[in-house]
Structure 1
Amino acid sequence: MIIRNDRKVLRVLSSDGSENLVIDCIKRTMPELMNSEELIGYEKIEYSELLKICGLELTPLSELDADSSAAAQQRYAVISPVLNVISDTKERSQAIRTAAEANNISKQTVRKYLCLYLIFQDKSVLAPKKTIEEKTLTGTEKTMRWALNSFFYNSRKNSLNTAYTLMLKEKYCDEYGELAENYPSYYQFRYFYRKTKKMKNYYISRNGLTDYERNKRPLLGDGTQQYAKSIGMGFLDSTVCDIYLVNNEGSLVGRPILTVCVDAYSSLCNGYMLSWKGGVYSLRGLMINILTDKVEYCNKFGISIRKEQWNSDKLPGIFVTDKGSEYGSFNFSQLTEIGVTIENLPAYRPDLKGSVEKFFDLIQNYYKPILKGKGVIEPDFRERGAHDYRKDACLTLEEFEKIIIKCIVFYNSYRTLEKFPYTEEMLNAGVQPTACSVWNWGMTKNKDNLIDTTTEQVITVLLPRTTGKFARNGLIVNKLRYRNNNYTEKFLSSSTVTVAYDPDDVSYVWLIENGSFIRFELIESRFMGVSLDTAKQLKDSCKELINDNKEEKLKAEIELARFIETIANNSSVKNTVSVKDVNKSRKAEEEKTHISFASYIFGDEEDE
C-alpha cells in the first residue's frame, strides 16, 4: 500500500496491526517501523501517482533489451537474500554486508538496489538507466551537493547563505571551530547551486508536495473540455458563504453552506442546496433540487423565470467530485444503482473542476458588493483588530436564498461565456454565449447522458443502510422491530438482509430485495415518528432505569430467601410424614380451613 501526506510518500511493506514497516519513497532510506498512530492523516494513492511524483516511466522487463534485462535480473539476485529478512534490522544489515562482499560491490550500492525495489516492487526499476554521461563531481562539488540537500532543500527553508555557513561549520572547521585555510567561496557555492538547481525538487523539498500539486505544478491540459464533450457531466462541490445570517428573532446563526452541481460542458448550474448542515444531508437536498421544475420552484420565492432560463430537471449521468468525506461515503455511492457514474478527481487538482470553482467565485461577487455592511465578510476578517462582521448580520436564510436564486438565474442566463470553444455547428445554429443557451442546444444533441428519475426514488436510494435480521418477533433493525404481513416465511427463517432506514424517522424501514424497496412498519408504537437518536435515548433511559432497580431487587430477593428459610426451619412438624389416607387428611383440612365468604357481607347482621 502506498500512502502520503503533505510532505512524505511512504510504502507500507508489512503490518501487524499496531506496527508497520514502511519505506520513504522520496528520500529512499532504509525501511523503518512506525506505529499506526503515526500514519494517521496519510491517504492512499495509486501506483501510477507514485511514478508521477518520482518522475519515472518504467519499461516492462519483457520490453527491455537483453543487456538491460540481464542487468536487472543480476541486481535482483544481489538483494534477494536480503528480502527474506527485511523486517529484522540486525539480520538485514548482516545480509547486506554478505551480499556486498559476495558481489564485490559496496554496501551502499546494495542498499540502493534494495530501496529501489522495495519502493516500486518491479524488477525493471533495477535496470541501468541510459542517460547522457554526466561530468564526475569533484570532492568540493560533492560536499556542496551534500550541503544543499542537508541545509537548503528541506522544510526549514534556510537561505542559501545560511546553508553555506552550515556547510563550512560541518566540513571545513576543525574540532576547535577554526576554519580551514582552503574552503570554497560563497560565489562558488552559489554557482554550483544555480547550475544544478531543479525547480520541481526545489518546490517539493521546501514547500511540500501538497503546495507543489496545488500551486506550482505545470497546467498542460485542455481543462474541462478535454473530457466533457457534451452536457450531462456534473461537478459537485460546496462552500461556506462569505456572509453571516440571523434567525427570525434576530439572533446570529452563522454562515450558511452552499452545495451546487454545475454542468462541466455548459457551466449551467443544475441545482443547489443552501442549508446550515453539510455532508450527506446537503447532497440529498441537492439531488432533490436538481430534479425539481425550476419554474415552479422559483415561483415559491416570488421569482418569475422562463423555462429556457433554467431547463434542468434530470440527473446528470456522471457526477465528478473531489475527495471530500461526504462524496466518499457509501450513501452517495448508492446513486450508481439508478445509473449514475461517480468519478473522483485526484487530490489537489481544483483545475479539473474549474467550472464549479468559478461558479462560487462569481455568485459571491454578485451579492457581496451590494450586501456590504449587512453581514458580508471582507478578506481581513481573521486579522487582529478587524471589524466583527457578525454584528452586521441582518438577513435570514430565507431572504438570502432569494438572493442566491436570483444570482443563479443571472449566472445561467446573462453571464457571457467568452472562452467557450464554439463549433461551427453552434455558430450556424445561433447559440448565444450564455450557459442556458449552450445547455439548451446540448439538450437537442444529446439527452442520453441525463437520467430521468423521480424524487422519491433518489431519496430512497440515498437513505443509509444497515443489516437487518428476521426473527419471530419481527424484522430487527437498529434494535427496533418491524413487520410486513407478506413475509411470514422470512420471519421464521432467521436470515439477515440489507435494509434502508431514515435516521430522522424510525416509523418505517425498507427491505432491499432484487433492486426493489419494500416498506416495513414499526411494531413498537411508542417510537412512532421519532428519530433514531431519540429512540436510542429512550431505550437507553429504560435500560438505565432497570439497571438502577437491580440492586434493590437483589436485596429483596435475599430478604425473601431468608424469610422462606426461617419459616421452613421453624416448622412445627418434626416427625416423619405419613403418606397414608391422603384424601381423608385433605378433606379434614378443607373443612378446618373453610371460609364462608358471605359472612364478610352479612356477618354483622347474623351476629345481631
Structure 2
Amino acid sequence: MKIYENMLLRYNEGKVVRILYENRKTSIIYVIDLDANRMPYPQKREMLVTHLKTQEVSVEDERGYNRVILEEELSESEKLKRDHAWEMIMFLIRTVENEELIYLSKYRERAIKEVCQVFKVSYNTVKNYLIRYWKGGKIRNSLLPNYFNCGGRGKERKVSGKKRGRPRLRDVHQGINVDDHIKKMFKIGLNRYYYNERNNSLKTTYELILKDFFTTEQVTQNGVTIPILPKSSELPTYHQFLYWYKKFNNLQREVSSRKGTRVYHQNYRSIIGDSTQDAGMGPATLWQIDSTVFDMYCVSSFNRDLIVGKPTLFLTIDVYSRLIVGINITFESLNSYTGAMVALANSMLPKKEFCAKYGIDIAEEDWPVACVPKRILADRGELNGKQIENAIQHLGISIQNSPPYRADYKGIIEASFHQLNLKVKPFVDGAVINGKNQSERGQSDYRLKASLTVEELYRIVIKCVLFHNNYHVLSHYIVDEMMLEDEVEKIPVKIWEHGLQNKIGQLRTLPEEVIITHLFPSDQAKITPKGVLFRKMLYASEYALKSGWFQIARIKGSSTVKICYDPRDLKHIYVFEENGLQKLALLDHLLIFSNKGLEEIEQIKKYEQEVDMKSKEKELQEKMKLFKDIEQIVKDGRQKTDVERDDSKSKSKKIKGIKENQRVERLLQRQKAMNVQQDVNLVDSDMVLGEESEDELALFRQMQALDWEDRDE
C-alpha cells in the first residue's frame, strides 16, 4: 500500500487524519487530527498499513476538506492576512535544518518562539497558523481566514450618521466616517503622489491629498492666494488614511513603482538557491521547466494539405532522477503562460489516460509521476509574472527563475531537448536542415515535405519519453554510496524508485480539481438553452441537466459562468461550482472537435469560413440566375393569362367561383396524371402529350360545366 504526503485516512470511529511526513529510514509517519486542535503526532508505518489491510482505516476523499478558491473572489483583507501568516510559516520552516525536526516539540517550540520575536505576535497565533497550514495540505490558501463562515462576507460597514470606531480621548469632536467618496480620494492621491519615483512619504502623501481635495476656499493675503482647510473635525485623520492605505496597498506594486521593476526582481522577489540546490534530497524536490521550438514543420490533422508551422515543445524534468515528468506540444508562442501551465498540469496528473488519448497503452509504473513538487526552476519567460506566481504558490510550490541569457542554469533540461531532437529528426519529414530555416539554391523546400500532425508528433514524443524514462542510461550521472551499494541502474525510473525508498524527499499529492483550478487556463462561457457555449461549441453534463441550467436560460435568458479548460483537448471543460469543479462534455453532434486542441479547432473553423465564403459567392451568382428564371416564368404566365382572360365576367363572379374552380382544377390534374401514366409506354409520347395540352382548356371547361350541372341538381 503506497502512502503519500497529504493523504487523508478515516478511522472507523470517525476520526480523520492527514499524513504530513514520513521518515522512510525509521518508518515513522507524522499525522495530524483534522477534528482536534492539537499538534502532529507520530505513527508507525507498519501499524497504519495493518489498519488499512484490516479496513480499520480507509482512504478518505479530499473533497469537502479543501474548497476551490478563486483569487479574484478574495477580499484584500483575506489576502493580507493569508500572506502575513504565510510569511511566518515560511520563516518558521526555514529556521529548522530538516523538515522532520518541526514535528518534534523540542525543535518546534524553539522555532515558534523565534517567529514570535521577529514578527511580534503571540505564541498561540503562530501555533494556530501552523496547525491550519498542516490541516489544509501545506498550501498557502489553507491560511485564509474563515470569513466564508461569517455573515456579511466581503461587505463593509454601512456609513451612517454615527461615527464608527473608538471615540477620541482628547478631542470632543468625533470626526468623520470614511465613505466611498473619500476612499476614492485616497486612491487618487496614492497613485498621484506615492506610487512614483519621487518616493514621497505617506505623511507627505496624506498632506497633499488634503491640499488637493479638502481645501474649502482661497483667501488672498498680501496678494498671495492661500488654501484654507476646514476644522480638523471635518477632515479624515492620518490614522484613517493609514488604515485604508494598508487595505489598498500591494507590496509588489509599491516596490516596483517607487524603486523600479528591476530592483524588485533583483532584491525583493523570493528566489532561493541555484538550479540544483536541495535536489539531492530526493524525487519531486526540484523540477525544471523549459520550452523550445521543434525543428520540424507539421500539417493540419483535418486537411493534410495545409502546413501549420513548427510547434513548441514544453518539458518538465525531475532534477534528482532526470525523469521527464510532463510534456506539452502546442502552437502557443515560446515562453507562453498557457503552454507552461498545461505542461505542469500534465506533470502533476496521472499519465495513463493521457497516453491512451494518443493510442498508447501504458501501466502506471511505466510513467509513475502524479505528484506536486516542492520547487520549480524556470527561465524569465514561462513563469515570470504575478498571475503565474499566484497560481503555482497556491499549490505550495516555490518558484526559482534563472538569470537572463544563462541556459547553463538549466543544463539538464537543455540536454533533454537535444536528445529528443537527435531521436526524432532523422525520421520525420519537414525537419529543419542544418539548423537553418532557409534552403540553399537548388535545394527543395523542406517545409513542403511536412507530413506529421501534432497528434502523431505527440505519439512520437511520448514514446521517446517512455524510452528515456525506462531505458536510457545516464552515463554522466553521479551516484552516491547507497546507490552503489544497492547496485542501482543509472536509468531515470530506477533512480526515482530508489529515491522514494531511501531519500528524505517524498511525494506530495493534491486533488485533481485543485491542480486543474490553478493551472489550466480559465475563461468565460455562456449558459444558453442549447447548452454551455464556449468557442462556438456546446457542452452539457448530467449535473447541468439536473440543475436545470438550460431551462433557466430559456426562461430568464443566457448567463455567464467561469470555466477552465485543457487547450490540448476541448472535448471537456470544467465549470466552477460551490461544491467543486463540474466536468462538461461536448454535445454528440459536435464530436468532430473531440480530441482536438484549441489551435486546431480554430484552424478548422477558419477553413470552414473560407469554404463557406467561396460557396456563398457561387450561391449569390446562382441566385441571380434564379431571379432571372422566376421573372421570365412570371412574364410568360402573365402574357398567357392576359390572352385568355374574360373581361366580360364581373369581379364578384370571378371571386365567388374560386372554390368550385379549385375543385375542377384538382379533377383536371388527376385526369392529366392518369393520362400521363397510361401513355408512358407509347412510342410517340411527345405527340400524345402535345395533343393533350391543346385540349386542356376544353377539358377544363367541360368539367366545370359538369360540376355546375351537378351542383344545380
Q: TM-score when scaled to structure 2?
A: 0.36
Larger RCO of the pair (alpha carbons < 8 Å, separation 6+): 2
Q: TM-score when scaled to structure 1?
A: 0.41
